[in-house]
Amino acid sequence: MPSDESNLSHKEVFDHLRSATFSAEEAAEFLEISIPTLRRYVQTGKLKPSSIIGRNQLFSSADLKLLKQKNKQRIAKVQYPSKIAICILTRRIALQS
């Protein structure tokens, strides 16, 4: 017999995380980056802590999700060059031959 937990919606399970904050270590893990890279993001203003408690920076889940989406879009652009870039590279290679 299935439990009531199997009938929970995504919102019921994860909605409490919408306002959650995460430590630097948790944020780096979520973003799939190193702690030094996370610190660089903070220093350059790419990511801002939602609060600071003592020496600990906390990051909002909304900010982390947004940055992760931006990073994915940036990586996709780098991995898949435009048709114009491919034409330019093809011409350069042809001229070098």
Give the pLDDT confidence of 27-65 residue by residue, as tens digits: 999 999 999 999 999 999 999 999 999 999 999 999 999
Q: Which residues pair with 59 in a beta bridge?
A: 22
Residue 2 lies in a domain: no
* Domain assignment present for 28: yes
CATH assignment at residue 27: 1.10.1660.10
| pTM of this structure | 0.61
1 within domain boundaries: no
Q: What confidence tens digit (pLDDT) does each residue in 64-93 have?
A: 999 999 888 776 665 566 677 777 778 878
Range of the domain at 53: 10-96
> How many domains, the chain?
1
Task: Specify the DSSP class assigned to residue 70.
Answer: H
38 CB-near residues (< 8 Å, 6+ apart): 24, 27, 28, 31, 47
Tell whether 63 is covered by a domain.
yes
